[in-house]
Structure 1
């Protein structure tokens, strides 16, 4: 949630009243033939006259509106009388498929100095537009007349957070008019940030039969809901789990509960103990005793009669920054498109329903890519395809020509997709791993990639795909599956991926079914990218990457 403070400024503010709004003392020699407006001091209003075109004073304006803005406001600064126009601002938003349709959300009260505070919200991936309109109210006629408008993108609220930025006013036709607005976005609520944690344990109980311990940790909120689960460290009484990054906002009140379990060969978990701590009080070296039940009743026995089971904080570092802080530095986001061409997609010829749906989903990400990918050079790959006769598909192919490893923007992806279907043949298996490996090789700590995988959901899970999805968690990348096909395919894909996911790894995969968004594709990017900011922050925190502040 952010608040936008809007201040109105006009290009005539501060004009010299004696020069700019007084009639010339001497009539000029030129013949009058140009219709202009001037400020009549005696009448206290703007009136028309014929201007000769010679040099004179500044009391001549091309429109009544320019004259009123320039002279009535200046006069009002010198006198408390008159019919000066009060101004007010109207705040509207366009968040539907029609980018020209705006709905009003709020408006300010009329006054001499138009300054207003409006509240708005933003979720990563949203592309809605914000409209600020300025109106004047004549104190005598009470008529509302438009002064101008300015359109901003929702992402501007984040990019310019706590930084004033100016937008020139235009009329409804887009022509520039006198004046401007200054927008100052401020955060109403601040995220709690992220915490990088690493735990070890000592003196854990062991199984009676095998005298071994196979422990895991479950990090929970105060209400007991699990937020994160670590890997199982096999046959180890003093385990040290992989580092984890937690979102502070997922722990209301800052309370973290660490539950330790012993896991059997069948996956059955036996509760060992629990430690409760405040995130703000955690530091390296903190010992957290486990409040343990009677271990004998659970089929366990103490490994040491002298020491109590406990957790030790091996690493703890706060990351109070947001993704925008990193984007203001030398960190950048990039997008890559990986498209399924396998035969399970059916007819992909021009004009087919499946072809149109793929193209619509690609185009839905146009605005998001423009907002966040600075160079607009996008890798566009295909899998489940071959370039020549044969039975087996190639590991991956570039949709564009061989010498064009990247294409220019989403429009370039669409063109490459159309050309690729002309020269490529659908094939099997639909093995995704090699294409993901290629994108992973492009990713760097300062260049994070979001791989958008468009598929019908029928993938072949070879070892390379499973291995690549596991390795992706250690790379600067996220994988978003956009399932284009029958309803239920995304659930099957999500179930398959979850069953193969390794515990303790950074979550970097998100699955979205396109079907519910067919009639509102403008909302698809928001849902598809909802997990990306947290995934990015988890990667940066795990690798101790700080933002380079002050770099634009």
Structure 2
């Protein structure tokens, strides 16, 4: 069920400051050098339109400007944040005309952050027949984005919701938005069969809790967990970051109120109480710190080749390669890969198939290599069409072999330099649930995350068991060390108007949102600190300019 009507807005990410320099710009002034200025445009995800975000100052008489004015952008790892930098020669600060255009560069914010030391250099283009020089961009995370709040809560005498037991309570935290809506920002674990739960301490970025406004309302809902997802509402209470922070010196007790019960029952007092046992604030390393220090995201994809996908040569197949539109498999892969590639230096992604009979023996394989590569945001499949003619789509659907394959690679890396992301795209419920749970529990101690996207019309309810948001995955009495799995059915993200770009953006936003925190949770449990950023490797310093 949807918890509390949460808004679809992203949890606020960190803020990134972009510093801009240019080298060897075109000289368009007759008696002096150009007077350059850079204009930054951001692209709307929905309309694809470019909108001006801001401008640097104008620097007179130079072809190699180092601009003082910065651009400060909200950074969302899970979104493709396209940027366009236009460079102009400005004789009058109020007049930007086409003759004064010096060149432009297109790139994503993730490319800047994922560049060596969070620095990139791009060639300026756009003036036919001319070398336009280069633009240098440096990303720096603002220091006030590092505060992490750690708190622990317990409850007393909550309402009994289960017929044969007590309740299985958990808390859901929401940050209020300026328009009066609420955005979910944290869920606690479920504590089974009790009306007096004590939840484990947890940490959350202060920006995610209040977006820097210490008096902004924080709403906390109390639910009774149900296996079918129809969690029962127990009650709610509100607070603020400033009020929470008072618990550094004293316990704070909140009444849990159920508005419906309050209206119906005259003698209603409350549905229990929640006590804030402890609250502290520290500064911690961030996702950007690790990326800037050289941590690479290694992306692997696994594709379902079981018979339930249908004949790949027929338009009814989920694998059908239409000349007019991408298949659901291709859209899921492109949505995730386009973002992950910015954090992978070689942009070469291993790919595996599972669930097919392979020639010449007709052996069923649940982990066979495909030849894929990624180039200039275009997915190219080499040998896959030929494979369709040679292999026989079969079954059953096994995940464990490919999870273990990636886990073996991740197990060889323990210094924080690599983090593995496995994307599994499937059309049906798996046949090896027990083995898959065991593989996930084992992989949870490794630098690894797993994204599972279900395509097609199948019922995927059983797959929710692998997504440990509510209850941590367990196998043979052993619980996963971390929540590393995110499962979503692709049909929930398809745009009704048929806009594939919007469909892919929605999917990527949801399935990738947890990756930064999953990476951080691994680094924290292993006490791995980010490496210092590599020294700058600037462009050759141009010859001194003559007056």
**By how many angstroms is 1:429 displaced?**
2.0
For 2:319, the equivalent position in structure 1 comes to: 354
Contact 1:204 1:310 in 2 (8 A): no
Aligned counterpart for 1:536 among listed residues 510, 516, 529: 516
For 1:278, the equivalent position in structure 2 comes to: 241
Contact 1:150 1:167 in 2 (8 A): no
**By how many angstroms is 1:538 displaced?**
4.5
Separation of aligned partners in 1, 2:429 and 2:164: 44
The structure that has the greater radius of gyration is 1
**By how many angstroms is 1:500 displaced?**
6.6
**By how many angstroms is 1:382 displaced?**
1.7
TM-score by structure 2 length? 0.63
**By how many angstroms is 1:204 displaced?**
5.7
Contact 1:258 1:275 in 2 (8 A): yes
For 1:27, the equivalent position in structure 2 comes to: none
Separation of aligned partners in 2, 1:185 and 1:385: 45
When residues 334 and 119 of structure 1 are mapped into structure 2, their CA distance, relative to the original with a 3 A threshold, is same
1:133 equivalent in alignment to 2:133? no
Aligned counterpart for 1:398 among listed residues 357, 361, 368: 368
Contact 1:336 1:449 in 2 (8 A): yes
For 1:73, the equivalent position in structure 2 comes to: 32
Contact 1:137 1:143 in 2 (8 A): no
SS in 1 for 2:405: helix
Aligned length: 464
When residues 143 and 419 of structure 1 are mapped into structure 2, their CA distance, relative to the original with a 3 A threshold, is closer
SS in 2 for 1:338: strand
1:372 equivalent in alignment to 2:326? no
Separation of aligned partners in 2, 1:225 and 1:117: 29
After TM superposition, the structure 1 = structure 2 runs for residues 394-543 of structure 1, keeping only pairs within 5 Å, are 394=365, 396-400=366-370, 409=374, 414-415=381-382, 417-418=384-385, 420-443=387-410, 446=416, 447-457=418-428, 459-460=430-431, 462-465=433-436, 476-485=447-456, 489=457, 492-493=459-460, 495-498=461-464, 501=467, 503-505=470-472, 506=483, 508-511=485-488, 512-513=490-491, 515-516=494-495, 521=500, 526-531=505-510, 532-541=512-521, 543=524
Q: What do residues 496-516 of structure 1 show as CA deviations (whole Å, max 9, x unaligned)?
A: 444775524447414234753
**By how many angstroms is 1:536 displaced?**
2.5
**By how many angstroms is 1:134 displaced?**
2.5
**By how many angstroms is 1:334 displaced?**
1.5
Separation of aligned partners in 2, 1:324 and 1:166: 19
**By how many angstroms is 1:416 displaced?**
5.4
For 1:312, the equivalent position in structure 2 comes to: 277
When residues 237 and 91 of structure 1 are mapped into structure 2, their CA distance, relative to the original with a 3 A threshold, is closer
For 2:169, the equivalent position in structure 1 comes to: 216
Q: What do residues 333-363 of structure 1 show as CA deviations (whole Å, max 9, x unaligned)?
A: 1111110111111122499883314574345
Separation of aligned partners in 2, 1:265 and 1:103: 45
**By how many angstroms is 1:413 displaced?**
7.2
- Give the unaligned 5+ runs of structure 2: 1-14, 177-181, 259-266, 473-482, 535-547
Cα RMSD between the aligned structures?
5.6
When residues 386 and 145 of structure 1 are mapped into structure 2, their CA distance, relative to the original with a 3 A threshold, is same
Contact 2:24 2:134 in 1 (8 A): yes
When residues 167 and 465 of structure 1 are mapped into structure 2, their CA distance, relative to the original with a 3 A threshold, is closer
SS in 2 for 1:337: strand
Separation of aligned partners in 2, 1:515 and 1:384: 26
TM-score by structure 1 length? 0.62
SS in 2 for 1:176: coil
Separation of aligned partners in 2, 1:382 and 1:247: 38
Separation of aligned partners in 2, 1:92 and 1:265: 46
SS in 1 for 2:99: strand
For 1:51, the equivalent position in structure 2 comes to: none
SS in 2 for 1:72: coil
After TM superposition, the structure 1 = structure 2 runs for residues 257-272 of structure 1, keeping only pairs within 5 Å, are 271=234
Q: What do residues 525-544 of structure 1 show as CA deviations (whole Å, max 9, x unaligned)?
A: 54333242544324524744
Separation of aligned partners in 1, 2:424 and 2:193: 38
Contact 1:2 1:157 in 2 (8 A): no
Contact 1:261 1:269 in 2 (8 A): yes
